[in-house]
Amino acid sequence: MIYGIGTDICDIRRIRASLDRHGERFAAKVLSDGEMATWKSRSARWPERGVRYLATRFSAKEAFSKAIGLGMRMPMTWRLCEIGKLPSGQPVIVLHGGLKEWFEAKNLSAHITVTDESEYAASFCVVETRAPHPVQTSPTP
């Protein structure tokens, strides 16, 4: 059953401006440790790739925050919500700490998709309630 949906559009120029103003500190506020490592290697090769990576992470996290109905309110924080990647390239939500506990206690699962064009990054997130495990019953004698 669908628990919630969320969408977000992010102006990449604003992300670029924040990075210009605050540098790595801005990226470190938004990205988890794992994402930060990816951001650094992408930025080192080509700064624009780093900007776009950060913008898609930013929009995906906002979309997720809306799909769970909290917005950026505890236990939802930027760094506790990580956007990982499957071997196929598909993005996946990986949660940490208190947010992971909150999400698992509600028996939820999430689906995320991201996209970007010249000046915008956008994301869409669907959060589902997982089907309860079937109750094991003993066969009647």
Ligand X SMILES: CC(C)(COP(=O)(O)OP(=O)(O)OC[C@H]1O[C@@H](n2cnc3c(N)ncnc32)[C@H](O)[C@@H]1OP(=O)(O)O)[C@@H](O)C(=O)NCCC(=O)NCCS
List the one residue out of 130, 121, 29, 114 whose CA is nearest residue 80.
29
Q: SS3 for 39-70, per residue?
A: HHHHHHHCHHHHHHHHHHHHHHHHHHHHHCCC
Structure tokens at 25: 């500190």
Question: Among 8, 35, 50, 112, which residue interacts with ligand X (rule: CB under 6 A)?
Answer: 8
In terms of CB distance, is 30 or 43 closer to ligand X? 30
Question: Among 69, 106, 115, 129, which residue interacts with ligand X (rule: CB under 6 A)?
Answer: 69
Q: Does 29 bind ligand X (CB under 6 A)?
A: no
Contacting range for ligand X; rule: CB under 6 A; set: 45-53, 59-67, 106-114, 119-127? 59-67
99 membership: H or E segment, kind and range: helix 97-105
Q: Does 81 bind ligand X (CB under 6 A)?
A: no
Distance (Å, whole) CA 5 – CA 124: 8
Q: Does 108 bind ligand X (CB under 6 A)?
A: no
Question: Among 17, 72, 74, 92, which residue interacts with ligand X (rule: CB under 6 A)?
Answer: 72
